[in-house]
Chains A and B, each alone.
Chain A
């Protein structure tokens, strides 16, 4: 039982980092990353391939993953943010995520295609006794999560964080004050990307094998749920949101005990349907104020919704 909880805890840790990354890119930067699953798999595969094919140790492999995903995210942001429309950005990230998925599937000389990459070594395998590995693993994951959390808080309080909030509040004013808006956003997206890479690397080292089926689009739904459920603003909420989603996920595994007569495929489908409904419920009943915080609009202007009606600002 303890072992099970430790394992779940470890998963919760890197899932939380993934959710924090989304929260960072979306919350602070206003950029919704619908390609999350693709970038996450990029991080996992980078770390896995560095470890398995290049024999890199866990630090190098993970750093490599962070670098790769951070760089790709930076490039995507640079190209796309010239059009400052959140809809377009969302579509592009969706497309890039899809493209990454295709590369993973097709370039099987590199990625093993549908078979994936196996044999990722345990990070501290040799030096830790097998029995106590789960606790060490969880401890390390928790430390990394804590470090990430502190790092993000430092950024939020730093001058850079102030610039980002200024841009979020009033883009035009920020630009006239000489802040390079595009560049700031690119950096946000790249940093968020590095965090996604970090989570991906941890994912690879936890499961010790990776294949395309681990990185479906459900991930983005989970991440959104974590961010939305976690509540407004600070990163702590996102972490709790991630825990909530993990609990939900694990809990739904026991569904099959309650629903007779469905086969494995149907059960898998049912779980995803419930996740989808959960996401919709969160969006419908979570106070609107939360999501509005992340809209990039100039405050003084009245908010006009798609119907042209002026809506109350909460």
Chain B
């Protein structure tokens, strides 16, 4: 996990000037998206009624633990869950065009052209038996009528664009001959080959060394500026989100439990789960005595989800009622952009969040009683 992601440091950084709201629909609009996988053990509710939108050229960070549905959500955006036998409902609109209803043939034209995706582990995500250049050429030729030689030239250009030195030589390298960072750069080059409007980055730095992580994030930020593409950044790493995202959606058990502009989320987190996430990352600059507080328990099964608020079994402030009532994602009073799905009264949340972390945890222990297992 990145140590660079000090939330308070991020919140004091100057906010980039907001682009004037673009007229017309946002680039990406997701409404009530549900993704379910039938399995032998039961129906997995991977994504359950998720809605968000993303403007051109902006970055949405999707944060959550593994098994929170964030990867299933991003794979659905690019239409890859249909290969996995998923049941998908809701709406995904790209530039006002509904993607979920498209035939496989039409979806294929969108995939890799208008929406591109990069993955966590660039070594396993690139074909081991084909050269990097060949894989980029293939991506180019899948969507445009371009000769082999021209495509190869373009592949070299793309490798140069993502900062690979000696691109003309590296274009003939196999993935295993490149370093981890180089491979992720090559993956990015491949994703960019058809000038996508939207790039989905699923844990793009999680498999990389910390020093390389920062380089890849810088590269993504630069490319986003130069190519004005929107990015959906899926990660469990809040440091990465702090560095990259304009907006953040926190996923828990297939739902968004909190959504806010990045600065707002880091300075005024509202959901107890978000508090837990923020407390569980180490910082370089705070006092060393500050303890890391893991979130107790483990993520719930997506087959048999807890009743009521899905977070209630792990929530230190849960009350009996929370096991029965399902919370809605609702805007905070006075801030439409900041939404939270929590049953605690807003005043109580404000009170809790204003306490220092240690006190808050102690208060939580009093509210809920001890005896919870400490989850990893």
A and B: interacting chains: no
